[in-house]
């Protein structure tokens, strides 16, 4: 469900999601992953300040990139996924401001992965099956 207004409960959800993501050494988390059916994601790409995005929608995408992904929902499973190299995302920040993010490379991959969760998709739905493998989560270079 879309977040129609930011309440104390919404702010607590975002804070909880940040804590859960960090504790799991992740770089992204979507509310449905913790049983909350709201369009809320948190992302923490390297060299970016961690941020919560409400009602994120990809409004533009360009190029292709293939890279290894993992998921906190399936710890230890990794594989290559083709994603857009660049995305523009319209969303609402934790202060209720409508913003547009322009992301490329790994940050673009992370936000696409998390928005997929909001739409009921996991990375295994689009992974190159030939690259799917199990590894200790600490060994994967780019795990969600």
Query: Could you give the residue ranges of the DSSP H alpha helices within 25-123?
Result: 106-118
Alpha-carbon torsion, ordered 95, 101, 107, 110, to 10 deg: 70
Give the model's pLDDT for residue 139: 63
Check pLDDT > 90 for residue 129: yes
pLDDT value at position 143?
A: 46
Task: Identify the band that residue 136 occupies on the pLDDT scale cut at 50, 70 and 90.
Answer: confident
Catalytic residue, from 2, 114, 139, 144: name it.
Answer: 114
Annotated active-site residue 114? The verdict is yes
pLDDT of residue 38: 98
- From the list 92, 106, 87, the residue with the least C-alpha distance to 4 is 92
- 30-39 pLDDT, tens digit per residue, is 999 999 999 9
Token couple for 28: 């992204």
Q: What number is the average pLDDT over the span 128-140?
A: 85
Sheet holding 51-62, edge to edge: 28-30, 40-43, 51-62, 86-92, 98-104
User: What are the pLDDT digits (tens) for 85-128?
Assistant: 999 999 999 999 999 999 999 999 999 999 999 999 999 999 99
pLDDT for res 142 = 47
């Amino acid at each position: 469900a879309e977040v129609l207004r930011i309440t104390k409960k919404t702010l607590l959800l975002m804070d909880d999601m940040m804590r859960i993501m960090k504790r799991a050494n992740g770089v992204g988390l979507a509310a449905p992953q913790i049983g909350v059916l709201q369009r809320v994601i948190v992302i923490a790409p390297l060299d970016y300040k961690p941020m919560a995005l409400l009602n994120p929608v990809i409004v533009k995408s360009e190029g292709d990139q293939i890279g290894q992904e993992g998921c906190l929902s399936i710890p230890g499973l990794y594989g290559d996924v083709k994603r857009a190299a660049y995305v523009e995302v319209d969303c609402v920040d934790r202060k209720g401001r409508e913003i547009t993010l322009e992301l490329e490379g790994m940050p673009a991959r992370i936000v696409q992965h998390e928005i997929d969760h909001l739409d009921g998709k996991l990375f295994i739905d689009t992974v190159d099956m030939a690259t799917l493998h199990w590894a200790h989560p600490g060994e994967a270079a780019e795990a969600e």
